[in-house]
Amino acid sequence: MDGIATAVVIELAKEFIELMQELDKNWSKAYYRFRSEAGRYGSNASYISGSNVLLIGALKWAGFYERMNARGAKLVEILGKTQGVFLLTIDTDSNYDIKFDWEDLNRWEITKLDGGTGLPHGI
């Protein structure tokens, strides 16, 4: 990853950490998943608080998702890709990790539907 892409990843992590500090003082780990394909993109997120896994609502936190999606789309473009998914993981110590998959657009899905836990699938 070049310096520009790294700067975007740091912006994503910073924005996500700031949201979590506002959202829940008891959070320990959080996940933001971004998916892009054929000019369309979207995201969702969840976090661990105590023994619970909670989803971050898209309506209540629309501004957060709008900013994160714009940065996510920019990151995919900077990396020279036309489709892909990434998973950004953060914790309360301000550590972050980002993983990419350019082939499997269903990787790391975050859902509570059909028995999902709210954690990224496969983590």
Q: Quick: pLDDT tens for 43-74.
A: 999 999 999 999 999 999 999 999 999 999 99
CATH number given to 3-115: 3.30.500.20
- Taken as a whole, the chain contains a residue count of 123
Domain ranges of the chain: 3-115
> What is the tens place of the pLDDT at every residue in 2-59?
899 999 999 999 999 999 999 999 999 999 999 999 889 999 999 999 999 999 999 9
pLDDT the model gives residue 115: 87
